Structure formats: C-alpha cells, structure tokens
Structure 1
Amino acid sequence: MRAEVGSTDGVLLSFPGELTASASAFHEQHLANVKQFSISEMVAQHQENFFGIHLRGFRDESEETKRAIYRHFMKFQVLKEYVLETREVRIEVAVTRAVDNFLCYVADILTEAMIARPELLKSEERVSMQEVLKHASIEEFVRWAAERHVNQLSFKGLSAIAEYMKKRLGLGLSEGQEDWGVLKRAVAVRNLIVHRRCIVDERFIHSMGDKTLRRGERYCVPSRMAYQVTFQAMRIVQEFDKRVARKFEIPLLVTADQPWYSAPNGPSALDRERDALAQRGGPTDGMMPGSI
C-alpha cells in the first residue's frame, strides 16, 4: 500500500502506506517544510494569473474599479519583489529544516529501536546517576541519550552519524552513494548557515571538498540544493524505516490514519480531488493540493 501524492514536484509528497512513529513525525514536518518553502511563490503566481485575467478586460471596467485594480496591482508588484528578494533566505531555511528534520528522525528511530531492544543500550560510555534520575522514565532517558549522541555527532558530519548507527543497530543509513553525498554536503551547509551565517571557513572547505571556495566569502546556497536534500532525505528515511522496523519489530502505523495526512489541507485532500476529477473524466496527473 502506498499513499502517493501527485507526480510533478508532488514527488516530494509521496508517502509509504505504513511507517514507524518516528517516520510519521518526519513526514509531518517534511510536509510543513514543503508548504513553507513553496507557498509564497505559489501565492504570487496565483495573483499574477488573477491580474492577467482582469487586465484583459480592463477597458470594460468602471473608473472606480480600474483605480482599485491598479492600486492592488502596484501593491502586488512590491510584494512580488519581496518574494524574489527573500528567495535566497528561504532556500537556506529549507536546507536547514530538511537537515534538522532528518537528524531528528535518526535520533527518534534510534530511540524506538532501543526501547524495542533494551540490550542496544549497552555502552562503554559513562553516565552520571544525576543524569539518569532527572528523567521520569526509561523511554525519556533513552530519548535524551539518543538525541545527545546525534547532536554531538552532527558536528563531525554525516559519516560519523552513519558509523554510529551501523555500529549500534547493524544497519547502514543509506545504500546509495548519490543520495548520501547530497545529504553529507547539506549537513555541512546547514552547519555553515546556522553557525557562520554562510561565511566560508576552513572546516566547510574541507567538508565540501571544493578548493574553489574562499575563506571569508559568503557561500550562496544553490537553489537546487533545497529540492535535492528534501527529496533525498525523504528517500533515505522511507527506505531505512522499512529495514529498521523489520529488524527490530518496531510497530507500524497506517499513514492514512495519521492526523497530518487526513487533515482538511493534508495530502488526503489531493486523493479526494483526484477521485472527483477521475469521476468527471478530467486529468489527474501532476496534481497538487490547493493549499500546497
């Protein structure tokens, strides 16, 4: 079973039929990230189309209506400039949120696996009694320990996280080199955005393996990276989620039953629109929900 949403850029909104609680949380945030990045430009495009329709019949309007349309059109031009000016920042936010969402999933699924198999908690690392007792339950402590590990490892790069997961769970996070390379670079870019305001330093040059980068210059995040990291993170999570759930017998949830999926403006809205169009004999390929 696969609850899929559209195929244009709806490829970013393709969900498995069943998933772990960790993956459900990932996809809920993933959906919000996709909406956040695209909504301003989609609204701007909608308004441009709206004015295009009305301006074609502009001569037939009353003088009062013409003045109102003109005022709204000029205001729209200013807002459109804001959309264009802030695109670079929105790309940075999109990359950062996609990476953070992926790292949250890693910590969450590590916690789920440890709760399912308590023997995975065995470690040579020492933890103080105070750190243990400040948590209300073993689940809360495990979550804290997993998040701490992932946060510490994120500064060392994605390879360190993957090595830890392989050692702890006996599973590789990704089996594809291309998607893994995209995520590795995105983690480095995310750290530069958050900690250096995109100003290039030696660590970043080393992480990217790009000798053309110059220390002290501002790194311009490529617009394609926002799509690439969002897509590849989604692919890795979906593929890994199946393997880890199977190995550790982690309970699975039905995607269609999740509140974020069945919400009025959620992916299920597309299912309803596609069904309605299919009944009317209209095209359904490449559709996106009206709110996305």
Structure 2
Amino acid sequence: MEQNKAKLEIDLNKSTRAFINFTVEIDQFEMLLSYMRIGNSFISENISEAKERLIKLYDNSSEETDFLKIDPERFLTMNYYESHLSRMMYIRAIDNFITYFKDVLAEIVIKKPQILKSKDQERLDFILEHDTMENLLKSISEKKITELFYSGFTDIQKYFYDRLGIKMFEDEIRTAEINLLIKQRNLAVHNRGKISKEFITEFPNEDFIEGLFLSFKFDYVSKINDVLYNIINNLDAKLSIKFNLDQVSYQ
C-alpha cells in the first residue's frame, strides 16, 4: 500500500468528533514510537548504568530471573520488543479504524435518525433508561453497529452503502486490502498471529506460510496508520457534507 502524501496538506482544525478521536489515536502511536526511540538512544549511550539498574531490579527475585545476569544488554534494546509491541499496536490501529465507523454512525443518527428504521423492536425498560432522545438514538446506533461488528466488516460496508448511500472504498482492490488487514488483526488476537490453513486459502496470492507467525514491525504499523488515515479522511469529508455533521475544533 502506498502512502498518500496528501495527508500533509489536510487541515485538521475542524472535523467530526469521530475523525478527531481516530486521529488522536494515530498521533499517540507516533509519539509513543518517538518516545521509545529516544529512550533506546539514551540507554545505548548509558548501557553500563542501564545494565546495572536492570540487574538490581531483580536482585531479590527467584532463580528464574538469573538469566538476566547472563546477557542483560539483550533486554535493553528496542528491537527485542519490536515484534511483541508492534503486534499490539497493529491490533490497536485496526480497532481504531473500525471504531471510527461506530462513532461516526452515532453522529449521523443524530442528524438523520430515520436511517435506523427497521422492524426491530426495543424493550420499554431500555427506552426509559435514557433521559433524552439524543442519548436513546446514540445507544440504538451503538447496539446496531455492535451487531454489525459481530457479523463482520463486510456487513458494516453493506450497511453504510444500503442505508447511507456511501461506498467506503473506491475500488475492489482497496476493499481486498482492508479485508486482509482486518483478518490479520483477527489472527493476531485469536491465534497469536499464527498462520492457519484457512487464512492461506482466503489469501492465496500472499506469501503466507502455514504454521509460521505474522511478522509485525513498527514501520509497517506506521505505514498502515497512514493508509487508514487517508481512507477515513476522505470518507469523513463525504459523510460530513452529505449529513451536515457538526464540526468541532481539533486541539
């Protein structure tokens, strides 16, 4: 996936709350990555002191931690943790992407509640739990999108197209790319990223090997965040105009 350089030209002073929440997550990822790189640099410059401090932390621990004293420097480099941390960050990135749709749907419902029109019925006690119509609509929209999440992202796409008249992605190639990203996230969550036969069958054109594990790197997650950012940015602009969504300041 190629990074869209237009990202640098986007004015984030005002946007939907859903888009801002999405963007804040990405900003925090980039700052965390910078924080770790700076910390890694400081540790490298003061490696002797860092090793002493690490060993001291486990002075009173059991023999199970004696391996620290053999090669403490191994545990003081960012590379040692990259696979584990980047996998968690990748999962968070995809969750952030999917959550945007839940958040923006709640904003759309406030402007156009008729999109929730269906044959579904709500219990009276559920309705009476809400003190305003706005809160009730938000809860109903959250229930609906949660149901869609359980069904799969394809159903979310269909719902946005059928009910909102919005096509999430510009072509089938991008749709397939997003499907792969989401399925990788599911594999990372439910199988520690271990590649299954079913996964390979679904994505035969990729270089996956059954039994091996998906490999995540910080730079890869950063690139994915850029891709997702540009998708959401373009989509949010369309939704904002079509449904006259409230714009709030980015701070």
State the TM-score, normalizing by the size of structure 1. 0.66
In 1, distance between residues paired with 2:24 and 2:9? Answer: 10
CA contact (8 A) 1:41 1:83 kept: yes
User: Is 1:219 equivalent to 2:213 in the alignment?
Assistant: yes
User: Is 1:87 equivalent to 2:82 in the alignment?
Assistant: yes
In 1, distance between residues paired with 2:33 and 2:96? Answer: 14
In the other structure, the counterpart of 1:170 is 165
Structure 2: runs of 5 or more not aligned: 55-71
User: Is 1:102 equivalent to 2:97 in the alignment?
Assistant: yes
1:35 to 1:201, Cα distance in 2 relative to 1, 3 A: same
Give the secondary structure class of the aligned counterpart of 2:183: helix
In 1, distance between residues paired with 2:8 and 2:202? Answer: 27
Distance apart, 1:24 and its partner CA: 1.2
Post-superposition CA distance 1:42-71 (Å, at most 9, x none): 3213554xx3xxxxxxxxxxxxxxxxx673
User: Is 1:187 equivalent to 2:182 in the alignment?
Assistant: yes
Distance apart, 1:155 and its partner CA: 4.5
1:71 to 1:172, Cα distance in 2 relative to 1, 3 A: same
Give the secondary structure class of the aligned counterpart of 2:213: coil
| Matched AA of 1:221 | S
CA contact (8 A) 2:17 2:248 kept: yes
| Matched AA of 2:41 | Q
In the other structure, the counterpart of 2:112 is 117
In 1, distance between residues paired with 2:43 and 2:159? Answer: 49
Q: How does 1:126-275 map to 2 (within 5 A)?
A: 126-177=121-172, 179-201=174-196, 203-209=198-204, 213=208, 217-223=211-217, 225-255=220-250, 258=251
Post-superposition CA distance 1:208-251 (Å, at most 9, x none): 44586465x24223435412321111111111111111011112
Distance apart, 1:92 and its partner CA: 0.9
In 1, distance between residues paired with 2:32 and 2:105? Answer: 28
CA contact (8 A) 1:113 1:250 kept: yes
Q: How does 1:30-49 map to 2 (within 5 A)?
A: 30-48=26-44
Give the secondary structure class of the aligned counterpart of 2:215: coil
The one of 48, 51, 55 equivalent to 1:71 is 48
In 1, distance between residues paired with 2:8 and 2:150? Answer: 27
In 1, distance between residues paired with 2:47 and 2:156? Answer: 55
1:230 to 1:212, Cα distance in 2 relative to 1, 3 A: closer
In the other structure, the counterpart of 1:23 is 19
CA contact (8 A) 1:182 1:232 kept: no
In 2, distance between residues paired with 1:42 and 1:159? Answer: 40
In 2, distance between residues paired with 1:189 and 1:163? Answer: 21
CA contact (8 A) 1:13 1:31 kept: no
1:207 to 1:144, Cα distance in 2 relative to 1, 3 A: farther
CA contact (8 A) 1:182 1:229 kept: no
| Matched AA of 1:120 | I
CA contact (8 A) 2:30 2:222 kept: no
Q: Percent identity?
A: 19
CA contact (8 A) 2:109 2:141 kept: no
RMSD over aligned Cα atoms: 3.2
Give the secondary structure class of the aligned counterpart of 2:182: helix
CA contact (8 A) 1:192 1:200 kept: yes
| Matched AA of 1:36 | L
* Higher relative contact order structure (alpha carbons within 8 Å, sequence separation ≥ 6): 2
In 1, distance between residues paired with 2:201 and 2:141? Answer: 27
Distance apart, 1:168 and its partner CA: 1.7
CA contact (8 A) 1:29 1:101 kept: yes
Structure 1: runs of 5 or more not aligned: 1-8, 52-68, 259-292
State the TM-score, normalizing by the size of structure 2. 0.75
Distance apart, 1:175 and its partner CA: 1.8
CA contact (8 A) 1:157 1:184 kept: no
